[in-house]
Structures are given as C-alpha cells and as structure tokens.
Amino acid sequence: MQRISTTPRPDWEKVVADQGLTFHLTDGRPYWDESAFYEFSAAQIDHLEAASQELHEMCLAAVEHVIARDLWAQFQIPDSLVPWITSSWGRRERSIYGRFDLWFDGRDIKLLEYNADTPTGLIEAAVVQWEWLKNRWGDAGDQWNSIHERLIAAWAGLRSESGDFLHVTSIDDGDEDFMTANYLRDTAVQAGFSTHYLGIDRIAWHPARRRFLDERGREIGLIFKLYPYEWMMREEFGTFVPNAPTRWVEPPWKMILSNKALLVVLWELFPDHPLLLRAALEPWGDSYARKPLLAREGANVSLVENGARVFETGGMYSGPFVYQELRMLPDFGGHFPVLGSWIVDGQAAGLGIREDSGLITGNGSRFVPHRFV
C-alpha cells in the first residue's frame, strides 16, 4: 500500500461533475482529489475483501444477539420501535448497501465503524474513480470496484420481492444527499423499477387512510430513504412510521448496525478478534477514541491519549458515547486515510478512500482514488 502523487487532468472538474459529482469542491477546496492515488497489491485487496465479508457476517450475528438479549436500552432504541425492528429482521428484509470504515496500514485491518443506514461517498467510489482509472490506464488498470453492478443486482432482487414501483427520498438540497439518492435511483431504474423522487419534506401522512402519500396523492408502498432513522423518529410524522404499511429501505433492522453501540456488542461477541478494536460504554483507561452513539461525518469525536485530549471535532451531537481503543490512522506523508469498504446486497463490493490532514475523517475530508497491481 502506497500513496503516489500524480498530475490531475486539466479538465477534471467538468469531467467529474458530468459524472454526477457536482459537489467536488468543499469550501472552495477539492473534495475529489486526483493529485494522488493509493496503490495496493492484489493480495492486499483480497485481504480487504475477505475481512469485509467476515465483518458483515459478524454484524448479522450482532443483530441476532441484540434482539435475542433485548439490548435495546444500550442502543437508545425506544420500546415503541422494537416490534417493528424485530419484525423487519424476522422477515430478513433486504438491505441494499452499507459501508465499513476501516483502519488499514497495508497489513492489519481494524473496524472503526459501520455506516449502515445512510452512507455517502457512493458516486465517488462506484463511478467517478472507476472512470478516472479507465481514463488514465485503460484496460491495464484495475480497481476493487463492482459496486455499480452489484447495486443493480440488489435492486433487481428487491423488485422481485416487492413490485415495480419505488419512491426515493432525501433532503432535497441539490447537494451530496440529493445526488447520491438519485444515483441510487438510477441504478434502481436500470434494475427495472419505475421510480419517483421527492424531498423528505414532501412526504405526507393521510390520517384517515393511515398511509404515507407523495405530493401527487399516491400511496408510498416502497421507499428508499437517504435520511437517518433517528432523524425520522423526531419528525412530526415519526410516530406513524412503525405502524404504516410502507416498506423502508434501508430496512428498520439496520438501526442496530448504524448505532456505534454495535462496536461494543461486536467486542463482547468476538473478544480479541483481529479485525476489531476493543470498545465499551465506559472508558477503561486513559487512552481511547470517544464517539457519540449516533453521529455523522466524524462529528463530536475526541481522541484521548494518556489522559490528554489530542484531537477532537465539533458538531451537533451529544452522548451517550462509545469508547473505542485508540488507534491513530496510518500516516502517509501527512495524509491520514480511512478505507471505506462497501457492502452491497450482503457482499463485499468495493473500496473508496477518504483522507485528511488531521487524525479524524470529517465532512471536509478528501476522496482519493485507488488502483491495485
């Protein structure tokens, strides 16, 4: 594994925007950064793929454990949602995608967290870096990346279970969430779905019919949402969600996996597993990473070493927290990468890398492409 500097294409901004990455700048600085790439050996990619698949199976065992042991309080999940979540798991409602964030130095792999409900970074990983690879190396280039094809297959599987019409929703901001939701919508169309996009604020509740409706008055039977469940439950219509006939994607059982209390359960189920970092709901020493159970984009994370806070991020999230064994990100010349390993329809599907000049990956961190040889 190495980080290699290179020269960006002169028209890269137009190229990536045409491919759907319209949010390629963050505060005037490149978010998509092709001034470098990460290069791996084929053996390292095989290692990452096998580890990701193993982690996925471990997470499914964790869901079963949480439900069997009634660990809902540990996850801050209210009793009113429990029947809905357990029913969703009992039916094994299909999950389309998720993303593991991994620590990797070329040899060892450690799970940092699991973005199981609303992962982004998808257009960059599935489309833009693939086109970058082909533009630069043609057929001689290779990349761990079957994300796009697996997404289409996942939607086809869901369509065979649920009918041909899919609503898609997100925050309608024209930015990352909107573009990601509509990329997923495009892959669903390629799988044969008829689709309709509407902003999350356009979903209506009909009290007499006890149904969610779109802005045209059509019942919402199946909907993909790029909007966190914990936010939904705080909305005005949130109390109606568990008892409405609408089927949501990602499924409700993913609420367990999108909560960082998962890290504690995994450690309890698989103590000293080589892919895990020790995690608990209380600190056990004076060095740890403290993370809110529910947060996005690296917000409100603190890194504490020998009792001193060495790095932290701000944000709008608060406790309760999970405490994870401190493992500083590998340093590639002042660049600190986190590897995003995508799980699509239950299969390890590809890699996207974000890096920062700081020790915590956040909303402004850069996406850097990769290849393997």
In the numeric block, which tokens belong to residue 26?
Answer: 């963050």
pLDDT tens for each residue of 36-91: 999 999 999 999 999 999 999 999 999 999 999 999 999 999 999 999 999 999 99
What's the one-letter identity of residue 372? F
pLDDT tens for each residue of 292-314: 998 877 788 999 999 999 998 88
Res. 317 pLDDT band, cuts 50 70 90 = confident
- Between strands 2-5 and 36-40, the pairing is antiparallel
Q: What is the pTM of this model?
A: 0.96
In the numeric block, which tokens belong to residue 24?
Answer: 């390629």
SS3 44: helix
Q: CA dist 11 to 8, 31, 129, Å?
A: 8, 15, 15
Residue the block writes with tokens 């914990």: 230
Report the distance separating Cα 45 and Cα 53, nearest Å: 12
pLDDT tens for each residue of 192-234: 999 999 999 999 999 999 999 999 999 999 999 999 999 999 9
In this structure, how many other beta carbons lie within 10 angstroms of the beta carbon of residue 290? 18
Which of these, 200, 37, 239, lies nearest to 133 by C-alpha position?
Answer: 37
What's the one-letter identity of residue 252? P
